[in-house]
Structure 1
Amino acid sequence: MTASSFDEALKRVLIHEGGYVNHPKDPGGATNKGVTQRVYDGWRDRLKLPRQSVRYIKDQEVADIYRRQYWDAIRGDDLPRGIDYSTFDAAANSGVSQGAKWLQRALDVTADGQIGEATLEAARKSNGATVINKANDFRLAMLKSLRTWPTFGKGWERRVSDVRKVALDMAAKAPLPPVTGEPGGVPGAAKATVEDRSLKDIAKSPEGMGGIIAVGSAALNAASDPTNPLAWALGFAVIVAVGVGAFYFVRRLRSAG
């Protein structure tokens, strides 16, 4: 029996999915490592665990969700190497049914979104490189038709290109490129923007902590001598300076995000 490609495939899916993001134009909503809040809620409900923000999802939960809801759903362990990864990434990015349909169309079998014995038999008899190329062509064509293409298209196109290359290498049993680099520019992959950062996160930064200490010191100094106008003026000046510094700090975060 051929060894499962799941661990290798998951590492490569996650480099595209990235960390926590809640992009206003992403219909999936709050997402972390490609797992949406809705999917995470359903997963924890099934295990009778209290719901929590997907921001706090654990690595083992991520692996379990991807295996059960995506890899097993597309029969990853039964698909030829390379085709398994290509279909898995498509399912994780666009849904199991859609990922399955792209594969079935590439195999020229009934595209019902359910990978069963007929699809598996066709995949085993197919030319892996041809199927991978066709499936990714269908995937890219549909992504380009979406209204969110102007926002996410650049990242999606890069992702499909990367998946195609790695899947072809896997099918050819060629050495694979290392899993390195920053998360890609797809929903769930970019760093959280400044809008996603809580005040608590900003307060934890060196700039934020310095500002809090400065404001506190200024307030204490003014309160210690309420009759001294110089103390109040100094306190006011410190607060204004911290406010201006916070403004530029947030601007810098927005530019970086």
Structure 2
Amino acid sequence: MAASTYDEALRRLLAHEGGYTNHPSDPGGPTNYGITIIDYRKYVKPNATAADVRVMKLDEAKAIYRAKYWAAQRCDELPPGVDDSIFDYGVNSGIGRSGKVLRRVVGLPDNTSVVTNEVLKAVAKRDAKAIVLAINDERLRFLKGLKTWPVFGAGWSRRVAEVKAFSLSLAEHSVAARPQVAAAPAATAAPAKGVVPPPKALKGLVTKGIPAGGAAGGIGFWEWIAAHPYESGAIVLVSASAIGGAVYALNGWHQARQEAPTPNLIPVPI
């Protein structure tokens, strides 16, 4: 809610995220300061490579965090503690998930992840500490259900525990009343994204092309293309449409799994 909440929340988040990584089991791919290559391409450089991510400037990462994770979730308008928990959850697992979890926790429909005025009013009616506990308990259950838990589970457990403890301290004491801030956690938490790994079929669709073998009558592939320009154009259009539709469907399926509710979540009462 206060600016100093963001400063400390960001400092702790960066300690968790660490520097450059490109772990084969991390769905985020090349990542630096917790910013994946996908986010870097989306917000900074559309054609960025892993090398660009490796030399990312800290100020670039901070700008992305402020606009696309903190402000996008209206954390300045959330109670201390709730803001930190939602911010860290959004960075690690996507604001599509963190926003819906916040809605579920306060008993609102999760047909969108947007933090609306209705969400802010529902949060304000409830005990901030209870919301913090509900968010972080749900987060840990979600992470434990991921296929990558055996690889990154120990680090995720530490991270969630530290976020919960710090968020509870914020909820129990106003930021202005705290003369000192506890040291940020050591950078030992796993720098991996807590997301559902994308389906292998999705990667296959976008990497497969038209077979390079002969197309007809024993002639070469390129010779057939040259001899049948109109047919070739039609094949390309149909193939692109089919691949695009399949990718769209798989992406929707993957997003639905990523944002699906975990069992046993009980909304925080008023």
**CA distance, structure 1, for counterparts of residue 94 and residue 86 of structure 2:** 10
- Classify the secondary structure of the residue corresponding to 2:72: coil
Pick the structure with more helix per residue.
Answer: 1
Specify the structure having the higher radius of gyration (Cα): 1
The CA deviation at 1:124 is 1.5
* 8 Å Cα contact 1:169-1:176 kept in structure 2: no
Question: Which residue of structure 1 aligns with residue 36 of structure 2?
Answer: 36
Matches within 5 A, 1:51-130: 53-111=52-110, 112-130=112-130
* 8 Å Cα contact 2:162-2:185 kept in structure 1: no
Q: What amino acid maps onto 2:118 in structure 1?
A: A
- Classify the secondary structure of the residue corresponding to 1:27: coil
**CA distance, structure 2, for counterparts of residue 61 and residue 157 of structure 1:** 28
The CA deviation at 1:105 is 1.6
Q: TM-score by structure 2 length?
A: 0.64
**CA distance, structure 2, for counterparts of residue 147 and residue 165 of structure 1:** 26
Unaligned runs of 5+ in 1: 189-257
* 8 Å Cα contact 2:17-2:187 kept in structure 1: no
* 8 Å Cα contact 1:105-1:135 kept in structure 2: no
The CA deviation at 1:176 is 3.8
* 8 Å Cα contact 1:170-1:176 kept in structure 2: no
Question: Which residue of structure 2 aligns with residue 184 of structure 1?
Answer: 189
Q: TM-score by structure 1 length?
A: 0.68
Could you give the per-residue CA deviations for residues 122-150 of structure 1, whole angstroms, max 9, x where no partner exists? 11221011000001111111111111111
**CA distance, structure 2, for counterparts of residue 104 and residue 7 of structure 1:** 25
* 8 Å Cα contact 2:16-2:186 kept in structure 1: no
Q: What amino acid maps onto 2:145 in structure 1?
A: S
**CA distance, structure 2, for counterparts of residue 137 and residue 179 of structure 1:** 21
* 8 Å Cα contact 2:33-2:58 kept in structure 1: no
